[in-house]
Amino acid sequence: MTFDYGSETASPEFVVPRTLLGCVKLRDGQVKLLNFQAKLFDVRQVWDSIPQHRPKQHVVRLHHFDPLMKIERHLDGRNRRETTAKGDIAFLPADVPTMFRPAKDDPHRILSYSYLVFEPSYLAELALSNGIGRPLDFIPTFATPDPFLHEITAALMSAPRIKDPAANLFIESLLNAACANSA
């Protein structure tokens, strides 16, 4: 099953509570930053309704929640239980089988997380424009600390509020840094 992480409206076959706080579209929609906040109970319903799937886009999931949380993951044929916390990321390359489940159920716990979603064509174009002619190999990761990427996404969230004409250069620079950091 292929899953479109870049869609702002969920497929009708999935249980989706109102968890989307905001969406920033960059590069004509080739890159999106989606911010979510929800109770673990609601997130669990969403995760349980999505079976093992293949993301349509490259996805960086940024975790903004405290305290530590155990999550079971099935990523590229490997099953593991890992501990993740605020400042961690998960990188899900496009077309790699993946599935996540919370290992514990605290229904009142609030989770805050973001998806930085890249269309595969955008990263390919970026690689070519930087002199990389070969296909890029993306390695799935999970529960990896990355404070730099968290700072970049925080700046990207402020991008729609910047009215300065130089903002496009600022946004492009941040986006390129995020892509280079993810690849």
Picking from 148, 129, 59, 54, the residue whose alpha carbon sits closest to that of residue 99 is 54
- Give the CATH H-level superfamily of domain 2-182: Jelly Rolls (2.60.120.10)
Q: Split the chain (183 residues) into runs of 10 and give each run's mean pLDDT.
A: 62 54 75 81 71 80 84 77 87 83 75 85 83 79 85 74 61 70 64
CA angle centred on 62, ends 55 and 98, rounded to 5°: 30
At residue 99, the pLDDT reads 78
At residue 15, the pLDDT reads 47
For residue 126, what are its two tokens? Answer: 């970026």
pTM of model > 0.75: yes
Q: What are phi and psi of 2, to 5 degrees?
A: -100, 135
For residue 17, what are its two tokens? Answer: 């509570």
Spatial CB neighbours of 28, under 8 Å, sequence gap ≥ 6: none
User: Which sequence spans correspond to the domains of the chain?
Assistant: 2-182
Task: Decide: 88 and 146 in contact? Cβ < 8 Å.
Answer: yes
